[in-house]
Amino acid sequence: MHRAFHLHEYLKIFNYIIMKTKIYPESGVELTPFTARNYDKVLNIGTMGLYRGFIDQVITEMEIKPDDHILDLGCGTGRNEGLMLSYLGEDGRITGLDISEDMEKQFRQRFIDDGRVEFINKRIDQPFDLGRTYDKILISFVIHGFPHEIRDAVIKNAFNHLNPGGSFFILDFAEFDMDKMPWLHRVIFKKVECIYAFDFIKRDWKVILKNYGFHNFTEHLHLKKYVRLLKNEKPLNQLSAL
């Protein structure tokens, strides 16, 4: 009895420490150091090896051109960069942003011999200026993990760093009614995801993004329509968005 009680107390203390180190305590996209160090393995196990085929299709849908300059918001270990690179020529470039030091080490090691890829340790949930713009910007399974008022900075960062006519790709959950999910899917979703994700799936993101100046929306649905790649274009001029 005493051992069980002490174990329970230790777990509470451990959880408190982990929560205190997170910027947004309720977020599911901020990873523990262990998960960050083993992220690719965890992803493979968690998706039962299906992630590679899924993300291959998504990258194809982005229609990357050889000379594209791409910004990845929340790039992690650079796994997606490795796939996008296969579409780029000598003049193509990829910039990855993340704040995890464990992720950064893996990213830099992965592309140590490829000068087309760079990593910048920077928060994407605060305004920033990289001093350059991009043809395509990707954010993959990150934005749903922020409180809604914080997503404002993320979207503005994307808009401000896109070339006119450039595309902002959001790979994340689609809009759906959680109560209408099959019970097993609903149980898993509620268990795995954070409260910010529950808010994210209820919102009309095309309307939201239109208010920031984006237009010409295109979507590709995946995984029984629970996941979507949403393409949002920055107008060539402001009048074209009206």
Which token pair is 26? 């309720």
- Please report where in the chains the tokens 């450039």 appear, as a residue: 166
Task: Give pLDDT tens digits for 67-100.
Answer: 999 999 999 999 999 999 999 999 999 999 999 9
**Total Cβ atoms within 10 A of residue 229:** 21
Task: Give pLDDT tens digits for 51-74.
Answer: 778 999 999 999 999 999 999 999
31-241 carries CATH number 3.40.50.150: yes
Dihedral of the CA atoms 79, 83, 84, 86 (nearest 10)? Answer: 140
> What's the whole-model pTM score?
0.85
3-state DSSP assignment of residue 223: coil
29, 166, 169 from 94: Cα distances, Å: 22, 15, 14
Taking 50 as the pLDDT cut, the residues of the chain under it are 1-20, 242
